[in-house]
Structure 1
Amino acid sequence: MANIILLGPPGAGKGTQAEKLVAGRGMVQLSTGDMLREAKSSGSEMGRKVAEVMERGGLVTDEIVIGLIEEKLAKGAPGGFIFDGFPRTLKQADALAELLARKGLALDAVIELVVDDAALVGRIVKRADEARAKGQAVRKDDTPEVFEVRLREYYKNTAPLIGYYWAKKSLRQLDGMAEMDAVAAAVAKVLDKA
């Protein structure tokens, strides 16, 4: 069992690698966006808070997100948890560390998928072109202009986490531009040492 954070800019392959870990190791992916959507439609007390904030167009507080994560941790996961999209800030990283400590859990690794930004933009454009060729809808954020804005936001908000986890000796940097299976093998190697 391992608890990990996947870091990397949009399009780096975090979702693909998380899917492989869920299928191959029985891990549970805790995606902030998925948890918020699930909570909103659940009818629970936490779900009502989420719905209220989202309906006002506000940002969901760190406390609510930590509460959702705590609910998921209470259910357990045979292979451990993958934190995806959280933490995004140093304050959230501290909150996650406190929550894990309270639950008697540890963070085993922080895996950063390192990518070449120009190649990443090319990857996104290719993904959009392939979707168009198949007659599929193209995601709104799969244009170079929108993607570059998302990329800047990622680096502005998340870059401090790289130093934070490096200082804690938790950070493992992997080549996110490698072939999908090579990245999966590198991730497995990190987890097998955790």
Structure 2
Amino acid sequence: MQTFTSLIKKMLVGSSLVLATTAAFAPVAQAGDYPYPYQQHRSMTDGSAWWRRDVVGGTPHIIIDISEQRAYFYKGGRLAGISPVATGIAGYRTPTGSFRISEKDIDHRSNLFGHYVDRAGYVRKSSVDVRRDKRPAGTVFRGASMDFFMRVNGAVGMHAGKVTGRPESHGCIRLPWHMAKIFYENAPMGTKVTVRQ
């Protein structure tokens, strides 16, 4: 008769084999599949933000799945982490395709979206698009904070921001702050980013 511990070990080995054979295809792993989640963020709809520090080496590849509202980070074909994301709303759809990270900026600010603030720094008009919203007299534009920004395609990038489990950005790919930091630290310039519907 098998002990509980030996059964668990077999299950973990089995899930590693399944992961190794499916890494090139659709990522199907869940946070509970791994014994060492680095960090979980339970306020997301499914609690699926985690990172495995033991996955090292190999070419990085990030897959953004718009229908799932998740990002998958691979290293050499091995799944290193999953994060919930928020992609673009109607009218600001996140472009799909294969891209490369072309710029990284740890404390980036948007030059299109943000707030109009007065000279004292008080917000006079929030959530503005400088192309559509007229600036009130006596105010200046302050771009929205986009910490850990990684440019993917044109003005679209990955960065820290509000994530609630549904599309809500102006086209960018938002991650929870702690996961944006981890992705930023592990994705060098030129990292492949695949965005799929």
- What is the TM-score normalised by the length of structure 1? 0.23
Higher alpha-carbon Rg: 2
Which one has the bigger helix percentage? 1
- What is the TM-score normalised by the length of structure 2? 0.23
Which one has the bigger strand percentage? 2
